[in-house]
Amino acid sequence: MVREVVLESYDFDGVGLMKTRICISLLATTVALLASCSSSGTGRAPMNQAPAESLASPMLLALNGQKMASGLPTGVIVSWQRETDPRAQGYYLYRDTQDILSADPQLRTNDGNLISQPDSGDTVTFYDEFFPEVGETYYYRVSVVDIYDEESDLSNQLSITIMEQAVDGFNPTSGFFGDSVTILGSNFGIYHPDTDSVLFPTDSDEMLSATIASWQETEIEVTIPHGAITGRIQVVISDTVAQSDDEFVILSPYLTELLPDHAAVGQIIEIYGSNLGDLPSGDDRVTFPGGVDVLHDDLDVSFWTDALLRVKVPESTANEGQITVTVGGVTTNGVFFSTHPRIDKVEPRLVSPGSFSYIGIYGINFGLQSQGRLWIVDLSPTSPLPPVDVDDQYIDSWNEAIIIARIPQAEYGSLPAIRVERDGLPSNDVAIGILPPLTVTFVRPHPGVTLTEPIDIEVQPVAGMERVEFYLFSSGTPVAVDYSGPPFTFHFDPSQYCNGTYTVLARAWRMQESTDGTVCFDVLSRPGDINGDGFVDEMDVRMLPQFFGVCVGEGGYHLYRDPNQDGKIDERDVSAIGYAYYHPASGS
C-alpha cells in the first residue's frame, strides 16, 4: 500500500535549524510510512569526496505512487530531482536500516546497478522492490554519476518507518441500514478494492463487507450494509485487520439467534434480535422457509418484544431455509432454520456389528426416541442393500442432540451410513466403516510345536484392535500386555520354563469389545526331565515306562518324553536319562 507522510528536512548552519517539509511514498499493501529526513546545506562536510568538477548531489523528493494489490509490502517508491547536466549518466540509490554515513557499494539498491538517467523530466522515480518489515525503519540517500564514472556527494537522507493502520472511532455511533458512517483512524493509505475492505459483524461468524463511498488516509466513508448487527467494525488492508474498540449500534431490526435452529412443525422456537418493536402492528410478521408468513397477531405468535419472539413452526414450512422478521416494512437479516434432524458427527466412525461397543451420534433436532428411528443405509450407487433398522434394544439413550447405540449384527452394503429420522423427516447421511469381526489368530507358534529357543508369540492384527493381553498360568492376571501393535507380541523364552505342555491365552480388545484365543505348545528346556519338575533323576526313570511304545503322532507322545528323540518312547530312552542326569541337591 502506498502511504504518504510529512517528512522534515533540516539544514545545519552552525547557529540554527531551517525546517522544510518533504514527503515520501511507500509502495506496500498493508502499511503506512512515517518519515523524517535530514539534509546538508552550506558548511556540510562531504561524506563521499569527489573532484571539484563532479556533479552536485541530487535532492530526494516526494511522489504519490500507485498501490499494488499484494498481501505483503512490495517496496518503496523513491523520487529525486533529475540532474540536468548533460554529463549525468545515472544514479546510485542507497538503502540501510541505520543512518547512511558513506556511499558503501553494499548498500546500493537495484542489485548494485546504476539507475539510468531518463531522457527528460524534472524528477526521477524508482521502485525499490523488496519486502519491508512492519515496524522497521529504512534510510535512503542517492548520488549522481557522470560520464567519467565520477560519483557525486550523497543527497539528503530520508527515513521511513512502516506502520499498520488503526481505527480510532466512527461518526455517527449508530445508524440504520443504508446510512452513511465515517470510520476515523490513521494510516488507511490509498484504497484498492482487491485488498481493502470495511467489515460489519453478522449473526454468524462471518463478517459483512460495506460499500466504500470514499477512502482517505484518516477517514473512510461507508454505507451500512443490510444484515449487519451491533458490534465492532473492522478495517482490513490485505491480511492486516484493525478493529474499533467500541461497538457500532445498528438501529434497524436484525436477528442474532434462533433457539433451537432446528425444530419440528408445531414446535415453538425463540427468535432473538434487536429493534423488533414492543408493539407490533400492521404487516409485521415472521417469515419461515418456503415463504410461509406468520403475522404478529396470529395465534402461532405467543410472545413479541423488542428483543425476543416466540413462534410456533407453521405446518407448511419448507425443509430448510432462512427465517426473517419484517418490522415497519424493514426486513431483517435471515437466520438458517430447518425442520429436519441433522447429524454433525458420529464417533467412532468405525463400528463393530454385534459387539457391545457403543457409538455416539451427535447433532440437533433428533426429538424423542418415541418420535424417531435410527437407520443404517447403504449408499452404494448400484444395487444397495435394504436399510437396517437399529431398534430399541440397541439404543442406550436418545435425546434432542445425542443418540448412544450399538450396531446390530446384519448384512451391510459397501457404503454404509448412519441416518436419523424424526417424525418421518430424514437427516443427512454420515458414512461409517464396518469393522471385520474381532478374532484372535496366532501367527506363531504353530499349535503343538516344541519350543527350544526364544520366540515372539504373535497374534494376527484385526482392524481396530487396540491391545492384546497374554495369559499363561491364569486368566486373571496377564503376563504381558501389548499396546503398541501391530504386531501384537509376547516374548517367550523356553529356558525359563520346565519341560511340559503350555497354553497361552490371548485376549484382544477393540473399544469395549474383547475376544479370546488360545495356542498350545510344548517346551523342551532340559532333555530327560520327563515329569517337568526341573530335574533329571530317578523320578523321571520311574515315570517313563508308562509311555513305552508310544510313537510320534500318537496320543501321549511329546518330544520331552523321548530323550533320544528317535520318535519312539522305549527302554533306550532310559539310558538317555542317565546321560542327562541332573539333580543339584544330590550333588550330581
Instruction: From 190, 222, 250, give the residue that closes a domain.
Output: 250
Q: Are residues 423 and 470 in the same domain?
A: no
- Mark whether 91 and 152 lie in a shared domain: yes
CB atoms within 10 A of CB 86: 9
Q: Amino acid identity of 121?
A: G
Do 89 and 185 sit in the same domain of this protein?
no
Q: Is residue 530 part of a domain?
A: no
Place of cell 500500500: 1
Query: CA angle 463-468-469, nearest 5°?
Result: 160
Number of domain units in the chain:
6
What's the CA gap between 117 and 84, in Å, rounded?
10
* Residue 532 included in any domain: no
Phi, psi of 487 (to 5 degrees): -75, 155
Gap between the Cα atoms of 153 and 58, Å rounded:
9
Determine whether 158 is exposed, middle or buried from the number of CB atoms within 10 Å of its CB (0-12, 13-18, 19+).
buried
Last residue of a domain, one of 142, 163, 184: 163
- Contacts with 258 (C-beta within 8 Å, 6 or more apart), sequence order: 269, 270, 271, 272, 323, 335, 336, 337
In the three-class reduction of DSSP (H, G, I as helix; E, B as strand; rest coil), residue 286 is classed as: strand
Q: In sequence order, which residues have a C-beta less than 8 Å from that of residue 53 and are 6 or more positions away?
A: none
Looking at the structure, do residues 181 and 206 belong to the same domain, yes or no?
yes
Whether residues 8 and 155 share a domain: the answer is yes
Give the bridge partners for 90, in sequence order. 116, 145
Q: Which single residue is written with the C-alpha cell 478493529?
A: 243
Angle at 543 between CA 538 and CA 549, to 5 degrees: 130
List the grid coordinates of 402.
445425542
Calpha distance 287→283 (Å, rounded): 11
Its domain, for residue 110, covers 3-163
Q: Measuring CA to CA, which residue among 166, 5, 153 is closest to residue 76? A: 5
- Cβ-in-10-Å burial (0-12, 13-18, 19+) of 584 comes to exposed
Same-domain pairing of 111 and 159: yes
504, 545 in Cβ contact below 8 A?
A: no
531 within domain boundaries:
no
DSSP bridge pairs for 336: 322
Are 390 and 377 within 8 A, CB to CB?
no
> Based on the domain organization, do 155 and 176 belong to the same domain?
no
Q: Are residues 263 and 383 in the same domain?
A: no
Maximum Cα–Cα distance across the chain: 128
Q: Residues 367, 422: contact at Cβ < 8 Å?
A: yes
Q: What is the pLDDT of residue 62?
A: 52
Question: Quick check: is 411 in a domain?
Answer: yes
**Distance separating alpha carbons of residues 393 and 396, to the nearest angstrom:** 8
- Residue closest to 237 by CA, chosen among 176, 188, 278, 270: 188
Amino acid at 92: Y
pTM (2 d.p.): 0.50
Please, is 578 exposed, middle or buried when counting C-beta atoms within 10 Å of its C-beta (0-12, 13-18, 19+)?
A: exposed
> What is the 8-class DSSP label of residue 44?
P
Provide the b/e sequence for 452-469 (b: ≥16 CB within 10 Å). Answer: eeebebbbbebebbeebb
- The pLDDT tens digits for 136-149 are 889 999 999 999 99
Instruction: Determine the pLDDT at residue 583.
Output: 66
Q: How many CB atoms lie within 10 A of CB 147?
A: 11
> Is 61 in the same domain as 171?
no
* Nearest CA-CA partner of 155 in 64, 75, 37, 8: 37
Give yes or no: residues 334 and 396 share one domain: no
Contact 26, 138 (CB under 8 A): no
Whether 157 is covered by a domain: the verdict is yes
- Residue 476 has a pLDDT of 84
Contact 182/221 with Cβ under 8 angstroms? Answer: yes
Is 380 part of a structural domain of the chain?
A: yes
Query: What is the Cα Rg of the chain in Å?
Result: 43
Last residue of a domain, one of 434, 464, 482: 434
Distances (CA, A) of 290 to 203, 228, 338, 429: 21, 23, 11, 23
CATH code, 50: 2.60.40.10
In a domain, 299, yes or no: yes
Distance CA 354, CA 139 (A): 75
d(CA 376, CA 433): 11
What grid cell was written down for 208?
A: 459483512
Residues 97 and 7 placed together within one structural domain of the fold: yes
pLDDT per residue as tens digits for the range 4-17: 333 434 343 333 33
- pLDDT value of residue 587: 52
Q: Hey, how many other C-beta atoms are within 10 angstroms of the C-beta on 173?
A: 11
Structural domain includes residue 566:
yes
Q: Which residues of the chain have pLDDT under 70?
A: 1-53, 62-74, 583-588
Collapsing DSSP to helix, strand or coil, 300 comes out as: coil
DSSP string, 127-191: EEES-PPTT-EEEEEEEEEETT--B-----EEEEEEE--EEEEEESSEE-TT-EEEEEEE---S-
Same domain, 458 and 397: no
CA distance 325 to 253: 8
